[in-house]
Structure 1
Amino acid sequence: MSTKRKFVKAATPPNSDINVTPLVDVVLVLLIIFMVVTPLLEKDIEVRIPETEETPIEQMPQDNTQLIVKLDADGTYSINTEVVQKDEYVNKLRRMLTPKKKEDRIVFFVADDKANYGLLVAAFDGAKQAGAFVLGMATEDIPLAPAGAPVDPNAVPAPAPAPAP
């Protein structure tokens, strides 16, 4: 028995064009998925921005008990204009915060624009370790009273920021 193979010749020549219909279907499905998922990916960080108030500099209260941590561009910490080594920072801040009541443990931070962000976060963490109750970020350099300057008893103290929940 001999079987001969028979080949069927196509009535039309093979089509070499790309069928884009499945490609368009896949792209539209992906577009819909991304349109639905993208709003869910956005995460909000709550930031409380203090209300601004125009106060002349000469009328600002000079409080010697106020703690201001300054971070310079070269990475040096200073607490109320006194330069502090990084390894002494937490202990010195703890000694300064311990005698205060919990609500009065407020530390303000002033960072140079070119300061390392990681060092600023480390300063925040160190202040929390030292017992700070409220951390505040100043956008402008806060003028300090010269050492030994009298505090004006009639001056109205600046409002303290509300503690974060």
Structure 2
Amino acid sequence: MATRKFVKPTTPPNSEINVTPLVDVVLVLLIIFMVVTPLLEKDIEVRIPETEEVPAEQQPQDDTQLIVKLDPDGTYSINTEPVAPADYVNKLKRMLSAKKKEDRIVFFVADDKANYGKLVAAFDGAKQAGAFVLGMATEDIPVAPAAPVDPGAAPVDPGTAPAPTP
């Protein structure tokens, strides 16, 4: 019978974790993220107006501006005149058709409690009506004061009054 001989190692087994492959993997991942991150950035063009404090009484009131207001109950009004949702696009289309393409600007004022879906529908309706630029106002726009009435003037019937010219 043959005898077996066992060779005893001169050093004990190494039970420490080898971190070299871990460092290699982390460095490769770091390089990949450094290369890919600039490609993930997407720019959104936002035009922010310069702020200038103008008291409300000094603000010029432009009769040609179109301001669509959305109330909490979901009713639309164009320049403080209530409009039924079914007539909204047609009325806005009539008002915008008299203007040049660059002047077709519609501002929106929505109440904080207004339905977001109705606001998006108002945006879509304005685009369908031919609006060139849509603007969102963060504060309620003051209503223009009524023109002084001449006591000697004859009353004007709103149905026969001439339409304002842009």
The answer, yes or no, to whether TM exceeds 0.5 is yes
How far, CA to CA, are the matches of 2:39 and 2:56 in structure 1?
A: 45
Give, in angstroms, the shift of residue 91 of structure 1: 1.8
The structure with higher relative contact order (CA 8 Å, sep 6+) is 1
Please identify, of 78-87 and 10-19, the stretch whose mean Cα deviation from structure 2 is larger: 10-19
Q: Which of 116-125 and 91-100 deviates more?
A: 116-125
Report the TM-score when normalising by structure 1: 0.68
TM-score by length of 2: 0.67
> Do the aligned partners of residues 33 and 116 (structure 1) sit closer, same or farther apart at CA in structure 2, a change above 3 Å counting?
farther
How far off its partner does 1:130 sit?
A: 0.4
Identity %: 84
Quote the residue 1:31 is aligned against: 30
Distance 1:115 1:21, change over 3 A: farther
Q: Secondary structure of 1:19's match?
A: coil
Structure 1 or 2, whichever has the larger Rg, is: 2
* Residue 55 (structure 1) shift: 1.9
Instruction: Give the CA RMSD over aligned residues.
Output: 3.1
1:118/1:22 Cα in 2 relative to 1: closer, same or farther (>3 Å)?
Answer: farther
After the TM superposition, which of the residue ranges 11-20 and 52-61 deviates more from structure 2? Answer: 11-20
Matches within 5 A, 1:58-69: 58-69=57-68
Runs (5+) with no aligned partner, structure 2: 149-166
Count residues with an aligned counterpart: 145
Pick which of 15-24 and 84-93 moved more.
Answer: 15-24
Segment of structure 1 superposing worse, 10-19 or 27-36: 10-19
Following the alignment from structure 1 to structure 2, what is the Cα–Cα distance between the partners of residues 13 and 77? Answer: 84
Within 2, Cα distance between the matches of 1:122 and 1:59? 33
Deviation at 1:89, TM superposition (A): 2.3
- Residue 147 of structure 2: aligned partner: 150
Task: Give 5+ residue unaligned stretches, structure 1.
Answer: 1-5, 152-165
Tell me the distance in 2 between the aligned counterparts of 1:81 and 1:107.
14
Rate the CA distance shift 1:57–1:21 in 2: closer, same or farther, 3 A. same
Is 1:92 equivalent to 2:91 in the alignment? Answer: yes
